[in-house]
Amino acid sequence: MADRTVHISAITASQRLDSRGKPTVQVTVTTGAGTSTALVPSGASVGDYEAHELRDGNASNYSGNSVHQAVENVDKIIGPELIKQQFNVGEDLAKIDRFMINLDASKNKSRLGANAILGVSMACARAGAAVKGVPLYEFLRKEAGITGPYLLPVPFFNVLNGGKHSGNTMAFQEFMIAPVGAESLTHAVQLGSEVYQALKSVITEKHGASAIGVGDEGGFAPPITEPSEALDLLTAAVKEAGHGETIKFAIDPASSEFYSEGRYDLGFKGNKPCQLSASGLADLYRSLMDKYPIILLEDPFAEDHWTAWSAFKKNCPIELVGDDLLATNIERIETAKEKDACNSLLLKINQIGTITESLEAAKKAFGYGWRVFVSHRSGETTDDFIADLTVALSAGHLKSGSPCRGERVVKYNRLMDIEDRLNVFGEPHEYAGAWMVKEKEIEYLQ
């Protein structure tokens, strides 16, 4: 089957629910190798430069969040036109994606909807893997042109939620733990889970049992306001779990959400006003990095505050990740390189809207000597696609929320399945923990 031409015989779409109970798009592609299905994620903290997620806007249907038009666009426009092209599914993912981009013909996929296009792209990638008779990560690895040993990612668990992901008064959106000292991916999941359970006990003891409710990504959302409070809770949980130096921290403030006219309002969620300039916020970050074992900082400044990014990057000793800044968009990545604004790309497949463009964005970032940090969305699904994508790219790290909630855990479970498979087949691989804390170059990505 690996060498024969296989065409798409049917493409159908349906409205289903994401992890927040909001509608999303499900796509099923049928070929001679069977059926392949994909579910599209959705964000809450959405940057201005992301591809357009098409929703119906009818207040009487899911409060305006239904996606019937996107579903219809798959069923009546994208599907029939793709089938006519008779693409070879096992070889033509890039051609399929480019055809859909041209069919939409807008700058941000607003005509047909990035959620419609991405669902087809994901399902076609799965169908291509089925036609080739290989796991999805292997199919995507070939599409990306990556060779050499496999690199299994460090999972960055978002265990404390703030910002738009929770109801507390914490401005910063995510506080993550990264088990860089683990012996394997499977061991890393164990360490993350143990710290997460210890954190539950620490929060209960300090704030009471009512404080252990979780946010959109499975992290706890206790009644805290200051970043130091969050990091102190993480420090106590790591100590209680007995894991010491094996665990490092990361922060995603998602600062575009509290930026206005050159100022950052850390009190934007209703607590007392706390307006900081970019330099004042930079000083806060540096004080936190001096005190806590932080190895990664994502979106510390707003998406168009280029001067703040570039100034901070000059003396930033850790991984500096662009999310809203870059929007998985090559034009934005090129601008960030010109301005020396960051050194890592946060890769979200629904920010750009096709798998091919996601791979191209990663290739561009790697070409600059940057890192690539693969990410879920706050409105996730039980689709585990990004776990395979992370392994395919040898990205070295992935964030998919806490070791809690099915739509988060399914990605970590898939990574453990992949590690087991690599072990069974004797495929050369390593866990990326040491790579995350030492500037280790990976030759086959350069």
Top-level class of domain 8-133:
alpha beta
User: Any binding-site annotation on 56?
Assistant: no
Encode the chain (446 residues) as per-residue pLDDT tens digits.
446 899 999 999 999 999 999 999 999 999 999 999 999 999 776 778 999 999 999 999 999 999 999 999 999 999 999 999 999 999 999 999 999 999 999 999 999 999 999 999 999 999 999 999 999 999 999 999 999 999 999 999 999 999 887 788 899 999 999 999 999 999 999 999 999 999 999 999 999 999 999 988 999 999 999 999 999 999 999 999 999 989 999 999 999 999 988 999 999 887 677 899 999 999 999 999 999 999 999 999 999 999 999 999 999 999 999 999 999 999 999 999 999 999 999 999 999 999 999 999 999 999 999 999 999 999 999 999 999 999 999 999 999 999 999 999 999 999 999 999 999 999 999 999 998 886 533 332 32
Residue 377 is labelled as binding a ligand: yes
Amino acid at 39: L
Query: Binding residue per annotation — 421?
Result: no
Fold (topology level) of 144-437: TIM Barrel (3.20.20)
Q: DSSP assignment, residue 75?
A: I
**Non-local CB neighbours of 7 within 8 Å, separated by 6+ positions:** 31, 32, 83, 86, 87, 88, 89
Q: Which long-range contacts (CB under 8 A, 24 or more apart) does 232-235 make?
A: 233/160, 233/199, 233/202, 233/203, 233/206, 234/159, 234/160, 234/175, 234/177, 234/195, 234/199, 234/292, 235/292
Is 305 annotated as ligand-binding?
A: no
Catalytic-residue membership of 348:
yes
Q: What are phi and psi of 221, to 5 degrees?
A: -130, 65
**Could you tell me the two tokens for 398?**
């992935």
Task: Delimit the CATH 3.30.390.10 region(s) of the chain.
Answer: 8-133
Give me the DSSP letters along 393-410: HT-SEEE---S-SHHHHH
pLDDT at 424: 98
Q: Which residue out of 200, 248, 269, 348 is catalytically annotated? A: 348
Task: Pull the structure tokens for residue 246.
Answer: 């094996």
Instruction: Say if residue 265 carries a ligand binding annotation.
Output: no
Within 10 A of 7 (CB to CB), how many other CB atoms are there?
A: 15
Q: What is the sign of the dihedral through the CA atoms of 132, 138, 142 and 144? A: positive
Q: 376 labelled as ligand-binding?
A: yes
Using a cut of 0.85, tell me whether the model's pTM lies above it: yes
- Catalytic member of 50, 138, 143, 217: 217
Has 232 been labeled as part of a binding site? no
Please give the structure tokens belonging to residue 36: 């392949």
Instruction: Give CATH 3.20.20.120 domain extents, the chain.
Output: 144-437
